Amino acid sequence: MSNTELMAEITKVIPNIGAAPDSRITRMTPVSGGCISTAHIVETSDQKYFVKSHTADSFMTKQMCKSMFEAELHGLNALRHTHTIRVPQLFHVGDLSSGAFLILEYIPLTRLRDHHKLGHQLANLHLFEGPSQFGFDSNNYIGSTIQPNGWHDTWVHLLQERLQYQFDRAQFTGHMKNMADKLIRRLTQFFKGLDIRPSLVHGDLWAGNCAADSSGEPVVFDPAVYWGHHEAELSIMRMFGGFTLDFYDAYHERIPRAPGFELRAQIYELYHTVNHYNMFGSGYLDQCQRLLERILQ
């Protein structure tokens, strides 16, 4: 895919998403930071847009590129519908000769400072009432990995499906496979006595996927949404850090910790760690093993 092709496709679309009929691209600036897709700030004579694109490769077909962006669109729209936290507006998902692209609202972002406000907003998101089942309307992606989102009556059944999918991709053998199989069999015991109601979660909320707009309002993006257990949201936030005690204090003012929180947090961290092993390789294998051993001890 060339920038020329991307510019041509964007030019065709922008009159339909709010730009002037004769609007033309005046500048396209690469933006660093994404580990999956390529990103640009696209300036026209009257507006700016944030554009992501992805080219098919040995890991992702052209159709998967498009479905990844369509999943992002559906996820951001689901978050927007709750009116609890700001997300970029979605404008268009389109095809390229060897991939796909996504046009989003351009929001000038700054470093998040009001962690207390983010904590309250995220809790409000998790308290938003939705369906009675766990899952989502379609599968989406956690990084570049498909995330199964079939509807289930219990959270444990969805989590079992998710973990099994990651374990199967990892192709663990020997002691690792035995531990993974044991966790799947014993998973229910870690949730006994909990009344878990479906919460809409961002799904991939590490520090790189949230910021603030020019007024200081928290903004989140690049989701992997589903209706699940609210505690799962906090696992990747703790895993990579970047959120202050003010965030956690504000969050738990509205959603207190339940007994067994720390042990379940390790299960949720395991999900993301195995996914990182599947995406990035053996550097995460020891961490997978340590987590499995701690959970099962």
Q: Which of 39, 71, 105 is the last residue of a domain?
A: 105
Answer with the one of 105, 123, 151 that is the final residue of a domain. 105
For residues 221 and 213, is the Cβ–Cβ distance under 8 A? no
The CATH number covering residue 73 comes to 3.30.200.20
Count of C-beta atoms within a 10 Å radius of residue 123: 20
Q: Is residue 190 domain-shared with residue 261, that is, in the same domain?
A: yes
Same domain? 79 vs 129: no
Same domain, 129 and 202: yes
Neighbours of 178 (CB within 10 A): 13
Query: What does the longest C-alpha to C-alpha distance in the chain come to?
Result: 66
Q: What does the DSSP 8-state code read for residue 57?
A: -
Tell whether 170 and 270 lie within a shared domain. yes
Say what the pTM is.
0.94
Which residue type, as a one-letter code, is found at position 237?
M
pLDDT of res. 243: 97
Do both 168 and 261 map to the same domain? yes
Taking the CA atoms of the chain, what radius of gyration do you get in angstroms? 20
Does residue 215 lie within any of the structural domains? yes
Domains identified in the chain, total number: 2
Which residues constitute the domain of residue 168? 115-296
Of the candidates 51, 74, 105, which is a domain's last residue? 105
User: What CA–CA distance (Å, rounded) separates 178 from 101?
Assistant: 41
Cα–Cα distance, 141 to 166 (Å, whole number): 12
Q: Which string of DSSP letters, residue by residue, matches 151-162?
A: -BSSHHHHHHHH
Block means of pLDDT (10 residues each) for the chain, 297 residues, are: 84 84 88 82 92 88 94 97 97 95 96 98 98 97 95 98 98 98 98 97 96 98 98 94 97 97 97 97 96 97
Catalytic residue IDs: 204
Looking at residue 57, what is its pLDDT?
Answer: 86
85, 224: one domain: no
Please indicate, yes or no, whether residues 141 and 271 belong to a single structural domain of this protein.
Answer: yes
Backbone CA torsion sign across 283, 289, 294, 296: positive
Read off the CATH number of the domain in which 193 is found: 3.90.1200.10
> To which residue do tokens 């696209």 refer?
42
Task: Say if 85 falls within a structural domain.
Answer: yes
Is position 110 within any domain? no
Return the pLDDT at 20. Answer: 74
pLDDT in the model for residue 32: 81
